[in-house]
Structure 1
């Protein structure tokens, strides 16, 4: 009979043990390239609680794969549960972490019992990143906190729907780059307040369509510079108004009103029938056209002495056009003009409501009277 030594089975662990993650002094995270850590068992009264307290111990994760999965490295000071594969004390593995009186929970219990929290801790700092779910009835909440920067990358489309209000507060700059088109639809009112300068640069065409009224109010000056044409078109009228003076452009003509109307030294009247020019004297005084109380028409306009003009027939000449309150021309109406010199001119307006041309060598007041039968 062959003799064999007595088989002594390898000791096995009775069950999981509690240990503390350890590492070099001054460190908070101590691991190798496999994500393993070192631990110090509470029953170990001989070894120091440092990076020499044990071999590298594997850490079980909730999901793992080749280059993907979830991992969280236990940090120095955390309490962990160490189990043994098949009870083999030479094959330890960390299967979980626990809280205790020193390692407190990230929320206060039982007050926050409806919350599910994933919170990290800033390395050698006091900040944290956090993902929190609150399932309190009527106050359900998803909270995401980034201690510093936050990166979101979407390889294709991103859809976001908010059924109620949305508030965004930005403490510094905001930049948006859109490689293609951008469409914004606001079903009701939109208010935009800019407390400093505003610059808008359009490299192509721009269109503004307003179905209602458009009102612009500027506290300072308004400047417009165009390299091409500027066209203002209205189906009704265009009004230019400053104080009590205004110019109204409408389909029936142009109305000019003001306490005083200044015109340059030469005025060309473009009439296909009889084009003519009106030239102010070299030393203009006041040409007054009275219709009732009288309105000054020219008062000391600047004269360009270098301009070449045709010699005038008379120093002053004027043609009146008679219109009613609706702006309609009054043709074939008897009129009477009384000059300041006492000269009286009577006649009948032509088909365009015009009087004959009045000639004078000096500025005179004119009294205009007409009779509508």
Structure 2
């Protein structure tokens, strides 16, 4: 029994072909949108590549770019096919191509759904990439004279100012790394020498933060040096007073920023997937209806259209049998050395007696 069978008249078939022709051209535009979203996402990730570790973050934008280009090509061809389906004679040119086209379009539509799900599942990889990348960027903050790292200070400062964040998890992360270059340390000062010698790794660690961590909306001047020393500043209590530094860590800020982008892109891709699925459903109805018209021989007659000629179970079973038979065709009968179904005349065999010697010569028929 056919699944979701619908009866079409000549007028309904023509209207369906015309509507699908328009929808396919709209799908070309949606393909351009997919391409643009992938390109936008790739640019956004590339802009932050200095504070991200090397992970497969470009997989999602690359897939959206590839799917977008494929959508333009497939839907352009689909528009041409649907335009010719108004005339039965022109449809004959596409008849053999229709089923492969529908199968390819089905897998392409499935790839759009996979791309949407990947947008929502990218958060964990993005968080790990930011955690590792920001950690390295903060450690190289002081290396302004090292080739390849000389711009990291500027990058981190602009990042903290733009996203109103400080450190990786919070501003305390700056207390555990030496972010001041040795060229700016006064080695004749006893306190500096003492701090360098007191650390096992010989690092200059202080409870200071870069200027980019300061909140310009704070009513008092920024306290970025000796942040944890309440006695070093007038009318200041580190444990109770609200600090004039950014409270949020940059990893959380960037993660929220990219998550918002990914959710917006994912929602757009899902809407495009639903639209492409509706177009594919209409093309399938048009293909089955036109095939039934060719079987009737009357181009003006009514015809049935369906999604599947048989039920889902029967269709799956028949496809499984086809795959199974294809596998059997590649097997070689090593036991008999030939096909056991071939009838061989009994006169073609030689009978052997004891000792594996022939009892009498028997002519072998040719």
Q: Which has the higher helix share?
A: 2
Higher relative contact order (Cα pairs below 8 Å, separated by 6+ residues): 2
Larger Rg: 1
Q: TM-score, normalised by structure 1?
A: 0.19
Give the structure with the higher percent strand.
1
